[in-house]
Structure 1
Amino acid sequence: MSVVNQSVSADINIERMWRRLEDLSGFTDAGRPWTRRAFSADFFAARQWLTQQMQQAGLTVHVDAGGNLVGRLEGATPGAAPIMTGSHTDTVFDGGRYDGIIGVLAGIEIAHTLTEHGVQLQHPFEVVDFLSEEPSDFGVSCVGSRAMVGLLSPEMLAQKSPAGQTLSEAIESVGGRPKELGRAIRGPGSVHSFIELHIEQGPVLEREQIPIGAVTDLVGIRRYRVVITGQADHSGTTPMDYRKDALLGASILIQATNAKARALNTDTAYVVSTVGYLTVLPNSSNAVPASVEMMLEVRSNRNSVLESYGDELFAQIHAEIAAEGLTLDASSVSYGEPALFHPAVVELIGDAATERGYVSLRMPSGAGHDAAYLSKIAPSGMVFIPCLNGRSHCPEESIEPEQLKKGLQVTLDSVLKLDTIAGFAE
């Protein structure tokens, strides 16, 4: 094996990468493509396949305490902290074939390329399939990356799915060790740097015809579980003035949060709010809804907004909810702060693109990513590539092989550049 230096270059094999993408897409709920929920049978089967692919690329593989699948190539320098890449392979319901997935398979392809070119980095190289990046049945997103940096709280571990399983039990089912999660799996300084390849999940790169995005920062995300309780009654014999309709209360909240998020947006403050999950009981066409459970999600690049949003919203609608004879109970389920990526890593990604003759754009992201949590312990950055019409979290999510090739090549070149850096200035 040769030791990498600044003069080493390697080209990736896009055909092999694309075959892996096609193979992994086969692990899906046949009735709802493309659906591979964390902790599902399809997810377990995909993890077995990923393990085999990592091993074929020369990586040694293990599952860490947080349920993350980790592959590792050793470096030439004893005791050096690893350069890490990765993303996630779970999906939302009826999701796409590329969100997160290209970031994991990119790491495997980079390892495979280094191995077959006889290149050994100075630093170890690690590829991670982070557990349950998408919001799970437990109401918590980025489970694996939170666990890695010590931000998966006991309250989160105790959250239950509709079936009654705790998140702690679910992590154990994939080979994790939740009893060890009272502390970080990786602390500051234990990872040299982190880089994640991802589709943009928005329209900017495609519309501007720019092949590479160098991501500067990510929004923070806060989620609340909200239960509005009324009273079930006959839909035909209960006059409108006598009803305690919980779904009407839900509509009050949904309209209020829509107006509040719009009002808070400025040139510098980005705020969006979504209610995308509802459970209505008794959920019958001839009964007044007795209760509604919903998940309220708020995203912003301002911590101050995330900290105050829920309390302000619930206080604002309290009188209107009470006037309908309803009660509202809300609890914060998860909270992730906005993340600012290391400027040296952002610049390095742009340089890697330029050296390949690709135009790049420095840009923020309104999505949440595992890189947000890794940025708390290591200099981090993300590479974005365009996706068709900016569509994501839907079956129509699509990219072209040439777009992926450019993003993957820039990610590999960035890893080679990162390997030449002994340490980062604060």
Structure 2
Amino acid sequence: MTRAPGPGSLAAAERVMQRCDRLAEISGSPDLLERVHLSPEHRRANELVAEWMTQAGLSTWQDAGANQCGRIEGAEPGLPALLIGSHLDTVRDAGRYDGMLGVLLAVEVAARFASRAAELPFALEVVGFSDEEGTRFGNALLGSHALAGTFPPEWWGLADGDGVTLRQAFADFGLDPARIGRAARRPESLIGYLEAHIEQGPYLEEADLPLAVVTSIAGARRFELTMTGVAGHAGGTPYERRHDALIGASELVVEVESVARASGVIGTVGRMQAFPGGVNVIPGRVEFSLDLRASTDHERDRVLAEIIRRANVIAERRGLRFESTEIYRADATACAPWLQDAIASGIRHAGSEEPMAMWSRAGHDGMAVSAVADVAMLFVRCGRGGISHSPDEIVDVRDVAVALDAYEAAVVEVAERVRAEPGRLGSDRLGAA
């Protein structure tokens, strides 16, 4: 049971929702929402969010990674910052809340502290990350890796669908690739990172709860898989002489679901293509994908090993050759217990007796930020069965109001913990970095 938010919180939530609508109007396509890294739409979104940050009392700047930033000083100038925010880029044909809601909640929370920032033993910074989705260049978390100082040089060669490299896109946007390091934060400059985000799943809706504490962010591995057999005439080749790559690949897809479901890991084959592709030709080669996600790297990798074992058994039985190539890896990120506790305290303050806890099945900017700061997340209920990355994405204004109250209370709880142990937090992060 969650108590109803007050009229002030509802008015602020309405403002957040209206701003989400404003941002949704900034799109590279007239027919759907798509806003990608280093595009004209990216620039317009940063400029608009900067206006709102200024209205909230923050000083603003765009960093060397094209992230939009704002800051309110704490009890004295130059203190380490508690970073709050999310991302401003989208997938193709996106909804209007994934990422954007988290940035605008953070702006509204910062506005609540603007007149009482002297109460905070840290600065409060809001960030709208430039590229979480990886829609344009195919590699996610570009903005947050820049902030974390973990931006690898080989990424400059990434190219979009028109052949424009990331290096050229930076220059076209008015940024100097040689200065990307200026976006990097030092561990001692940050207290932690809190992000609010829509759940992107059905569990809060099923539990009839508006908010949850995130315990960890999924560790994901992605692969390009190939089954190779022998192409042949569909009519002239008896079954006992077939080495049908599509049948073998299809059998493995079923095994992926079976193994993953039995273990609580999420396994998905999202793409499959048979060659040569003739309606009357037995497929001689099939290329398909595998995406594995789990709350821990151990569980994810254990399931991967079992899938590979079963793939080889299928291949041997059917006279096929199985190959796999890893194309992406992001290890699981555990949310810091002390920040989880702060978010849980905030949720209780907003009226929930016992906050729901869950792991995030999707990736988030906190995965990169964790290299330089402790991270934690607040999930907001996502309606219609948790649909996201879709125009059908929806949140309720009352849930947004409750989230604002919980987010503000979480920042207050972080402040109390920093006052109680002023040296422990920074030294722990610095020692671990």
TM range (shorter): 0.7 to 0.9
Pairwise mapping of residues 186-335 of structure 1 onto structure 2 (< 5 A)? Answer: 186-226=185-225, 250-263=249-262, 265=263, 270-277=264-271, 294-307=288-301, 310=304, 313-314=307-308, 316-318=310-312, 320=314, 330-335=324-329
Question: Which residue of 2 is the match for residue 350 of structure 1?
Answer: 344
2:64·2:182 contact (CA, 8 Å) conserved in 1? no
Question: 390, 393, 396: which one pairs with 1:397?
Answer: 393
Question: Which residue of 2 is the match for residue 340 of structure 1?
Answer: 334
1:214-256 CA distance string (max 9 Å, x none): 22222211222446678999x8888587988765565354334
5+ long unaligned stretches in structure 1: 1-9
1:211·1:360 contact (CA, 8 Å) conserved in 2? no
SS of the residue corresponding to residue 399 of structure 2 reads helix
TM-score (norm 2): 0.79
SS of the residue corresponding to residue 363 of structure 1 reads strand
Task: Give the partner amino acid of 1:368.
Answer: G
Pairwise mapping of residues 4-403 of structure 1 onto structure 2 (< 5 A)? Answer: 13-28=12-27, 30=29, 33-115=32-114, 117=115, 119-120=117-118, 121-170=120-169, 174=173, 177-179=176-178, 185-226=184-225, 250-263=249-262, 265=263, 270-277=264-271, 294-307=288-301, 310=304, 313-314=307-308, 316-318=310-312, 320=314, 330-365=324-359, 366-388=361-383, 389-403=385-399
1:108-160 CA distance string (max 9 Å, x none): 22233434x46454422211122322243544322222332244444555444
2:90·2:135 contact (CA, 8 Å) conserved in 1? no
Cα gap change, 1:313 to 1:173, in 2 (>3 Å)? farther
Cα gap change, 1:175 to 1:54, in 2 (>3 Å)? farther
CA distance in structure 2 between the partners assigned to 1:161 and 1:29 by the alignment? 15
SS of the residue corresponding to residue 107 of structure 1 reads helix
Q: Which has the higher helix share?
A: 2
> Which stretch shifts more, 372-381 or 122-131?
372-381
CA distance in structure 2 between the partners assigned to 1:28 and 1:225 by the alignment? 31
CA distance in structure 2 between the partners assigned to 1:157 and 1:224 by the alignment? 22
Task: Give the partner amino acid of 2:334.
Answer: L
1:241-285 CA distance string (max 9 Å, x none): 79887655653543342233234x1xxxx4111122456778787
CA distance in structure 2 between the partners assigned to 1:27 and 1:232 by the alignment? 48
Work out the number of aligned pairs and report it. 410
SS of the residue corresponding to residue 419 of structure 1 reads helix
Shift of 1:86: 0.9
Cα gap change, 1:124 to 1:144, in 2 (>3 Å)? same
CA distance in structure 1 between the partners assigned to 2:252 and 2:117 by the alignment? 56
Shift of 1:47: 3.1
CA distance in structure 2 between the partners assigned to 1:163 and 1:319 by the alignment? 41
1:411 and 2:410 correspond:
no
CA distance in structure 1 between the partners assigned to 2:81 and 2:183 by the alignment? 16
Cα gap change, 1:329 to 1:44, in 2 (>3 Å)? farther
CA distance in structure 1 between the partners assigned to 2:219 and 2:352 by the alignment? 30
Shift of 1:379: 2.8
User: Matched residues, percent identical?
Assistant: 31
Shift of 1:77: 2.0
> Which stretch shifts more, 247-256 or 20-29?
247-256
